[in-house]
Amino acid sequence: MHDLVVVGAGPYGLSIASHAAAAGLDIRVLGRPMASWRDHMPEGMFLKSEPWSSNLSDPGQRHTLSAYCAPRGLRAEHASPLPIRTFSDYGMWFADQLQPRVEEVTVTSVARADGGFQVTTAENGTIRARSVVLAIGVMPFVNRPGPLRGLPPQLASHSSDHGDLSGFLGLDVTVVGAGQAALETAALLAEAGARPQILARAERINWNTLPQPLRRPPLASLREPHSGLGTGWSSWAWSELPWAVRRLPSSLRVRIADTALGPAGAWWLRDRVEGVVPAFLCRSIVSADAANGGVRLRVAGPDGTRRTMETGHVVAATGFVPELDRLAMLSPSLRAGVRTTPGCGAPWLGSAFESSVPGLFFAGLLSAPSFGPAMRFVHGATFTAGRLVRGVRRHLDTLGSAAGATTAPAAPGANSAAGVAGARGAAGPVSPRDAGARPDGSPTRHAVAPHVTDGQEDSRPVG
Q: Bigger pLDDT: 293 or 408?
A: 293
Beta-bridge partners for 244: none
Q: Is the pLDDT of residue 143 over 70?
A: yes
pLDDT for position 415: 32
Closest Cα partner for 379 from 461, 321, 445, 453?
A: 453
Q: What integer best gives the mean pLDDT of the chain?
A: 87
pLDDT for position 120: 97
**Residue type (1 letter), 277:** V
What is the C-alpha to C-alpha distance for residues 337 and 325, in angstroms, rounded to an integer? 12
Give, in order, the Cα–Cα distances in Å from 125 to each of 107, 109, 217, 328.
10, 10, 59, 17
Please report which helix (H) or strand (E) contains residue 35, including its range.
Answer: helix 35-39
What is the C-alpha to C-alpha distance for residues 256 and 265, in angstroms, rounded to an integer? 20
Sign, Cα dihedral of 268, 272, 274, 278 = negative
pLDDT for position 215: 85
Confidence tier at 418 by pLDDT (50, 70, 90)? very low
- Tell me which architecture the domain covering 146-206+263-316 has in CATH: 3-Layer(bba) Sandwich (3.50)
Is residue 177 within 8 Å of 200, Cβ to Cβ?
yes
Peptide bond into 100 cis (omega under 30): yes
Q: Is the pLDDT of residue 250 over 90?
A: yes
Which segment of 164-178, 222-236, 257-271, 303-317 scores lowest on mean pLDDT?
A: 222-236
User: In terms of DSSP H, where are the helices of 340-428?
Assistant: 368-371, 380-405, 416-424
pLDDT for position 351: 97
pLDDT for position 401: 79
Is residue 148 within 8 Å of 285, Cβ to Cβ?
yes
Sign, Cα dihedral of 339, 332, 364, 30 = positive
Mean pLDDT of 116-143: 96
Mean pLDDT of 116-127: 94
Contacts with 215 (C-beta within 8 Å, 6 or more apart), sequence order? none
Which segment of 47-61, 178-192, 395-409, 445-459 scores lowest on mean pLDDT?
A: 445-459
First CA to last CA distance, the chain: 26
**All structural domains of the chain with their residue ranges:** 4-141+321-424, 146-206+263-316
Q: Is the pLDDT of residue 220 over 90?
A: no
Q: Is the pLDDT of residue 428 over 50?
A: no
Q: Is the pLDDT of residue 381 over 60?
A: yes
pLDDT for position 235: 86
What is the C-alpha to C-alpha distance for residues 159 and 318, in angstroms, rounded to an integer? 8
Mean pLDDT of 223-250: 89
Mean pLDDT of 63-91: 93
Q: Is the pLDDT of residue 70 over 60?
A: yes
Q: By percentage, how much of the chain surpasses pLDDT 90?
A: 74
Q: Bigger pLDDT: 215 or 284?
A: 284
Confidence tier at 405 by pLDDT (50, 70, 90)? low
Q: Please give the CATH topology (third level) of the domain spanning 4-141+321-424.
A: FAD/NAD(P)-binding domain (3.50.50)
Q: Bigger pLDDT: 414 or 243?
A: 243
Is 4-141+321-424's fold the same as 146-206+263-316's?
yes
Which segment of 22-31, 173-182, 202-211 scores lowest on mean pLDDT?
A: 202-211
Contacts with 402 (C-beta within 8 Å, 6 or more apart), sequence order? none
pLDDT for position 402: 72
- 264 burial class (0-12, 13-18, 19+ CB within 10 angstroms)? buried
Contacts with 82 (C-beta within 8 Å, 6 or more apart), sequence order? 46, 47, 51, 54, 65, 75, 76
Which segment of 166-170, 229-233, 380-384, 417-421 scores lowest on mean pLDDT?
A: 417-421
What is the C-alpha to C-alpha distance for residues 440 and 23, in angstroms, rounded to an integer? 7
Helix then strand then coil, % of the chain, to nearest 5: 35, 20, 45
Q: Give the pLDDT confidence of 296-341 residue by residue, as tens digits.
A: 999 999 888 999 999 999 999 999 999 999 999 999 999 999 999 9
Q: Is the pLDDT of residue 213 over 90?
A: no
What is the C-alpha to C-alpha distance for residues 358 and 135, in angstroms, rounded to an integer? 17
